[in-house]
Amino acid sequence: MAFHIKQYFRENKKLRKTLLILALVLVCIPILVIIFISPITKYFIEKYDVQFTGRQIEMSRAYVNPFTGYVHFSDIKMLESESDSIFFSAEGMSLNVSMHKLFSKTYEITQLDLDQPRFSIIQEKKILNFSDLIEKFTPKGPRDTTKAPVQFNVLDINLKEGKVYFRDKLIPINYFVQNVNIHSPGIRWNSDTIATEFSFESGMGSGRMQGDFAINTSNKDYKMSVVVTKFDLNIIEQYLKDLTNYGTFSAFLDADLKSSGTFEKVENVTTSGSIVISDFHFGKNPNDDYASFEKLAIAINVISPKLKKFHYDSISLTKPFFKYEKYDSLDNLQTIFGQNGSNLKEADNSEAQFNLIIEIADYIRELSKNFFRSHYRVNKFAIYDGNIKYNDFSTAEKFSIGMSPLTILADSIDKDNIRVHVKLLTGIKPYGSGSVYLSINPKDSSDFDLNYHLQNIPVTMFNPYIISQTSFPFDRGVLS
């Protein structure tokens, strides 16, 4: 039988030709579909982009395979609303659509990749440049519960080697982060939880952040862990210029934190871990500090305003420096922050303007407002090798005094303890020394015992004040 079939094909040239043509057609049709559907897709996206997104979208090339569900856009760009500036761009955007699930009315993107994306976030007052997109795609009115929900899944989301630029027009602020990598298993139509892993580096200085974040979109609960390594806080200086007449700032942040809570209420948060701020400098210029320290280290057992717990393992401050100078009219702090802190008050009272420093201060104030009504504990508190200087230029002769080296130690600061003991030891510049021993009731700060000792302080150092009041200086003498 096989022999007769083979012989039949050999003898029937017309049939062989027909089958060959049919095979070529079957091969060419998918190829032609892919060839033509790709530019057609590109054409329709660029034609109806403004109608559906409110933004103009451009790309150099589109590739669509309707048989496998693979889609790729090369050099894709989304412009700002009514502008030729670029809001978003990417070297490549790829996605895989599960074609067979379309027959079961499930729209599923099994993988979404963004290669080298660039985001430009612009803030003017408290309005962001993507607010129009949020408004456009936010459902209007309550969801129709009589209809079955759309079964839409986006899975395996990957953002690779991205950059995010941030600009505040009002202050102004210019900042960016680079090497942004984000991975998420995605979200399903019947699940409320989105989990994400992320990492990025500072674009203006050193430092790296990485961690994971999960949020329940239904009740706004979240969980987060983050590790920060030598992150340059130079963005703080840019916001500081909005609050000060002059001055410079620098510091680095290291942290390892775990936190959980809800966005519905600020105080419903529980945090543990460690925070280290190092090489902190704030002053008139980079060579003239008003305040600085080598390292502030905070080890947190648990902070939970909701549970009224503030438990710290240790708080230590190494080599703090503070200089206060008094002039004829103002002092060094008021010359920076305005008379009686007028710059700070103006920024704090501004409802239209966003300032990161004010927002952080408000957040900390909100978290700690019930601190003394909560159970607080610090197993160890220490300040090592401090240096405090006071200069008074308002008198005819300059008065200067300092406390260095300054050490403050306290163990077992606990609200449940009967007493808390604090010890302070310091040298007094140019001459002398001092010590303070404090015993205080943690439940009632007005109940305390205080012993202080001052030794070998020359009274002649107070002559700038004595002369201005009496015209006669101290010739000699020691105060103890």
Nearest CA among 179, 81, 70 for reference residue 122: 81
Q: What's the pLDDT score for residue 26?
A: 57
Residue 382: pLDDT band by 50, 70, 90 thresholds? very high
Averaged pLDDT for residues 307-335 = 92
Q: What's the pLDDT score for residue 177?
A: 94
Q: What's the pLDDT score for residue 155?
A: 92
Residue 410: pLDDT band by 50, 70, 90 thresholds? very high
Averaged pLDDT for residues 43-58 = 88
Q: What's the pLDDT score for residue 207?
A: 94
Q: Are 317 and 384 in contact (CB under 8 A)?
A: yes
Q: What's the pLDDT score for residue 51?
A: 87
Question: Mind giving me the DSSP string for 226-266?
Answer: EEEEEEE-HHHHHHHTTT-SS-EEEEEEEEEEEEEEETTEE
Whether 356 shows a pLDDT value over 70: the answer reads yes
Whether 98 shows a pLDDT value over 70: the answer reads yes
Q: What's the pLDDT score for residue 143?
A: 65
Q: What's the pLDDT score for residue 449?
A: 94
- Compare 150 and 46 and report the one with higher pLDDT: 46
Q: What's the pLDDT score for residue 316?
A: 96
CA separation (Å) from 226 to 159, 199, 200, 208, 465?
Answer: 18, 9, 11, 10, 53
Q: What's the pLDDT score for residue 15?
A: 55
Whether 417 shows a pLDDT value over 70: the answer reads yes
Averaged pLDDT for residues 206-235 = 93
Residue-wise pLDDT tens digits, 71-89: 999 999 999 988 888 999 9
Beta-bridge mates of residue 324 = 390
Preceding amide of 405 cis, omega within 30:
yes
Whether 401 shows a pLDDT value over 70: the answer reads yes
Residue-wise pLDDT tens digits, 419-466: 999 999 999 998 999 999 999 988 888 899 999 999 999 988 888 888
Beta-bridge mates of residue 199 = 181, 210
Q: What's the pLDDT score for residue 474?
A: 86
In the chain, the percentage of residues whose pLDDT exceeds 90 is 45
Averaged pLDDT for residues 270-299 = 94
**3-class DSSP state for residue 373?**
helix
Query: Distance between CA 103 and CA 96 in Å, rounded?
Result: 16
Q: What's the pLDDT score for residue 59?
A: 93
Whether 16 shows a pLDDT value over 70: the answer reads no
Beta-bridge mates of residue 252 = 232, 278
Question: Mind giving me the DSSP string for 91-138?
Answer: EEEEEEE-SGGGGGTEEEEEEEEEES-EEEEEEETTEETTHHHHHHHS
Q: What is the DSSP letter of 350?
A: -
Q: What's the pLDDT score for residue 13?
A: 61
Q: What is the DSSP letter of 60?
A: S
Tokens describing residue 333: 């702090």
Q: What's the pLDDT score for residue 24?
A: 60
Mean confidence (pLDDT) of the chain: 87
Whether 103 shows a pLDDT value over 80: the answer reads no
Whether 186 shows a pLDDT value over 60: the answer reads yes
- Compare 152 and 408 and report the one with higher pLDDT: 408
Q: What's the pLDDT score for residue 8?
A: 52
Whether 146 shows a pLDDT value over 80: the answer reads no
Q: What's the pLDDT score for residue 274?
A: 96
